[in-house]
């Protein structure tokens, strides 16, 4: 579920892949640099199998460069735990910097209408799949930022170094619309990583994956498989919410956790637990989403947090004082900070209380400087929690900005998410992946 933002925060993340033999949005970087695949061994005993290394960049989303097809073509894809189907742009447009050309690949195979794959149900398909004029499976995908893509389902080999995943189902998209066409044209597509049967992680049959995003420098890790590192503190696990009955507004293949409360500097907001629970329609689930930058709360929780944060920052921060300014359409708590000020004042910590675990957000991660926005001699900083009601999204979303310097493990086998605070730049260095 990708939400766009017009800011570049350059972060190069390295990825360690453990391959399991399988059965076998849209955000982008403002100045993309397609780096070649590299192989680098991690010290013996660190992981179960020798990994390969890819390059990551990130602004409002995480993107990975890898090769697809035979012979291989370099592509750049957004990593999105909120989406299922992986897809690539397959038709060059005047502004497109990166596309996949299926005509050049001998391993490309379109999915026919009569294939069972074409009948697979996924919430990613906002419009039911259909047959095109060539009797091929046609699909349309829509995202929360009003962007959409459409094209044909197909199978292809996705390669990392000398290893490959043959026969992986993806979307070969040849048209669509974007909320930010200039930037979205610079990525080739998206890797869907939720729990749906067509997601990348499901098709490669990996029981778990984890990532660690640095908020300071150009280092980080994405790992498929078991994270057995002596320096990694024990993870706190929160179970995934399981609802077997189909509900219209509940995404059953998302990484849904149970938010039970919110604290500001240790003070728990006076909200009933029912505020954080899905209602009879399924609206109100809490999703961990790497395809969304910031964190969004439903109205009652957001307003309570906003009021308490305002109260605890009186005298520390100067409110913007412009009721008409709402950053990204959902973030209406903004402040003026003197341009000459090097650091922000000490801010109250905001803690998301999950079932069995907590996620604390502090310091600079609480405020985001709006690029290019200056009021007299002040820059404009906005609170990094937004109002889901203003977005028209009936859910709580925990974005990757608040996952920085957290080891995030997605355990599909045991239906849980594990987390622990860690310096992700140091973790990357310990694994020999620092830049």
Residues serving a catalytic function are: 80, 289
H helical segments located in 278-398: 299-312, 388-391
Pick from 126, 116, 104, 146: nearest CA to 4: 146
Distance CA 17, CA 222 (A): 8
Cα-based torsion angle of the residue sequence 243, 249, 254, 259 in order, rounded to the nearest 10 degrees: -80
Count of H helices and E strands in the chain? Answer: 5, 29
With H, G, I as helix, E, B as strand and everything else as coil, classify residue 200.
helix
H helical segments located in 153-281: 181-184, 200-203
Burial class for 220, CB neighbours closer than 10 Å (0-12, 13-18, 19+): buried
Distance CA 132, CA 111 (A): 11
**248 bridge partner residues:** none
Pick from 254, 265, 268: nearest CA to 395: 254
Burial class for 390, CB neighbours closer than 10 Å (0-12, 13-18, 19+): middle
Distance CA 402, CA 421 (A): 11
Pick from 358, 147, 158, 390: nearest CA to 261: 358
With H, G, I as helix, E, B as strand and everything else as coil, classify residue 322.
coil
Count Cβ atoms below 10 Å from residue 365 Cβ, excluding itself: 20
Distance CA 257, CA 234 (A): 19
Tokens matching residue 21: 């033999």
The answer to whether the CB of 5 falls within 8 A of the CB of 213 is no
Residue 117: CB partners within 8 Å, gap ≥ 6? 111, 137, 153, 169, 198
Question: Terminus-to-terminus CA distance in the chain, angstroms?
Answer: 30
**358 bridge partner residues:** 353
Distance CA 404, CA 160 (A): 26
């Amino acid at each position: 579920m990708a939400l766009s933002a017009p800011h570049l925060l350059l972060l190069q993340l390295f990825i360690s892949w453990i391959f399991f033999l399988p059965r076998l949005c849209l955000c982008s970087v403002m100045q993309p640099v397609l780096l070649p695949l590299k192989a680098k061994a991690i010290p013996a005993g660190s992981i179960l199998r020798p990994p390969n290394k890819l390059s990551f960049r990130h602004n409002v989303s995480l993107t990975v460069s890898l090769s697809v097809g035979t012979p291989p073509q370099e592509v750049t894809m957004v990593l999105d735990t909120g989406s299922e189907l992986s897809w690539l742009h397959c038709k060059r447009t005047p502004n497109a910097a990166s596309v996949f050309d299926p005509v050049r690949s001998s391993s490309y195979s379109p999915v026919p209408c009569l294939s069972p794959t074409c009948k697979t149900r996924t919430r990613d398909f906002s419009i039911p799949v259909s047959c095109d004029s060539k009797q091929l499976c046609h699909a349309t995908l829509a995202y929360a930022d009003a962007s959409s893509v459409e094209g044909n389902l197909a199978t292809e080999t996705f390669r990392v170094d000398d290893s490959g995943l043959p026969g992986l189902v993806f979307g070969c998209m040849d048209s669509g619309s974007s909320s930010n066409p200039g930037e979205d044209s610079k990525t080739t597509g998206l890797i869907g990583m939720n729990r749906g049967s067509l997601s990348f992680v499901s098709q490669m049959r990996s029981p778990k994956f984890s990532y660690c995003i640095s908020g300071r420098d150009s280092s980080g890790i994405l790992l498929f498989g078991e994270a057995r590192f002596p320096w990694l503190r024990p993870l706190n696990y929160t179970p995934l919410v399981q609802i077997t009955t189909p509900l219209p507004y509940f995404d059953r293949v998302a990484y849904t956790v149970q938010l039970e409360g919110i604290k500001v500097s240790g003070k728990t907001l006076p909200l009933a637990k029912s505020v954080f629970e899905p209602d009879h329609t399924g609206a109100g689930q809490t999703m961990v989403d790497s395809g969304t930058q910031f964190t969004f709360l439903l109205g009652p929780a957001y307003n309570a947090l906003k009021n308490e944060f305002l109260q605890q920052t009186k005298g520390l921060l100067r409110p913007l004082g412009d009721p008409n300014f709402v950053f990204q359409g959902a973030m209406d708590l903004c402040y003026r900070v003197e341009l000459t000020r090097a650091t922000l004042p000490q801010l109250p910590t905001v803690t998301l209380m999950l079932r069995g675990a907590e996620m604390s957000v502090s310091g600079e991660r609480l405020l985001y400087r709006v690029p290019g926005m200056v009021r007299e001699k002040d820059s404009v900083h906005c609170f990094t929690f937004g109002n889901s009601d203003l977005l028209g999204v009936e859910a709580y979303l925990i974005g990757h900005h608040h996952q920085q310097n957290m080891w995030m493990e997605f355990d599909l086998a045991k239906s849980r998410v594990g987390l622990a605070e860690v310096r992700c730049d140091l973790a990357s260095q310990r694994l020999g992946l620092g830049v």
